[in-house]
Amino acid sequence: MMKMMKKAAAFGLCAAMTLAMSTGAFAAVESVDDLEGSTIGVQMGTTGDIYVTDYEGDEAGTKIERFSKGAQAVMALVQGKVDCVVIDYEPAKKFVEANEGLKILDEDFALEEYAIAVSKDKPELTEAINGALAQLKEDGTLDNIIANYIGEEAGTHPYESPEDVDRSNGKLIMGTNAAFEPYEYYDGEEIVGIDADMAQAICDILGYELQIDDMEFSSIINAVQTGKADVGIAGMTVTEDRLKNIDFTDSYTTARQVIIVKE
């Protein structure tokens, strides 16, 4: 009888180990301090990716799993392939709402400032956009655009271009990654969101026709550098590494990096 019990216990332990190995995730993440030794999911090329890279290869054996889209990282968490996901707060809220059994930790991972990426070869465009941003902040338009997507007043402040806008300056191409609700995402076949409305408002002031091109987030800076896009607007944070390759306008909002885990 004792031998059979030992065999059963051994089988149970083996099955548990096999299950753990199949999920690829072992650590319970309850705070920022628990990230060491865990498997962290991030969207490739984002600020979250940049921040968590500091953990990669540490003595605790922390692993970073990178995905082309934030939704893919969240799905890996749901499937038990990662222990947590580091991502911006507003998209995190949408992902948690759409996936039962997930939650956002109360402790912020990092605070950051979003700005618009512009080629170093176009300082006059950076200056012009800064002027437009200042106007949008001063007259309350930017606050209304943000409030239309975030908070209790969501949906009550839709942005509308003024009539008879002069668009004689031609086309302004905005490179973005339209999988980052509420900043940029698809509503049917149209790309909408805070960044899309803000870009339209800037174009209305500066006399441009706005064209939004959807691409991988990691491709945006290169697109701006090579002239495939005039600006990069995608909830993009100013970092020292990015400043080596691109210029940024003044900040237009403050954001938070947070950690999504299973409940």
Position 11 scores a pLDDT of 42
Residue among 121, 153, 130 nearest 226 (CA): 121
Report yes or no on 169 lying in a domain.
yes
Given a cut of 60, whether residue 36 has pLDDT beyond it is yes
Given a cut of 70, whether residue 121 has pLDDT beyond it is yes
pLDDT digits (tens, 9 = 90+) for 72-99: 999 999 999 999 999 999 999 999 999 9
CATH number (domain holding residue 223): 3.40.190
Number of domains in the chain: 2
User: Quick one: 186 and 147 in the same domain?
Assistant: yes
Task: Give the global pTM.
Answer: 0.76
Position 163 scores a pLDDT of 92
Distance between CA atoms of residues 245 and 243, nearest Å:
5
Cα dist from 9 to 2, 3, 73, 203, whole Å: 10, 10, 35, 68
User: Quick one: 132 and 159 in the same domain?
Assistant: yes
Report yes or no on 197 lying in a domain.
yes
Q: What is the mean pLDDT of residues 108-125?
A: 96
User: Quick one: 129 and 229 in the same domain?
Assistant: yes
SS (HEC) of 8-30 = HHHHHHHHHHHHHHHHCCCCCCC
User: Quick one: 90 and 199 in the same domain?
Assistant: no
Q: Mean pLDDT of all residues in the chain?
A: 90
CATH number (domain holding residue 40): 3.40.190.10
Given a cut of 60, whether residue 101 has pLDDT beyond it is yes
Residue 52 belongs to domain spanning: 2-111
User: Quick one: 173 and 152 in the same domain?
Assistant: yes
From the CB of residue 25, how many other CB atoms can be counted at a distance below 10 Å? Answer: 23
User: Quick one: 143 and 95 in the same domain?
Assistant: no
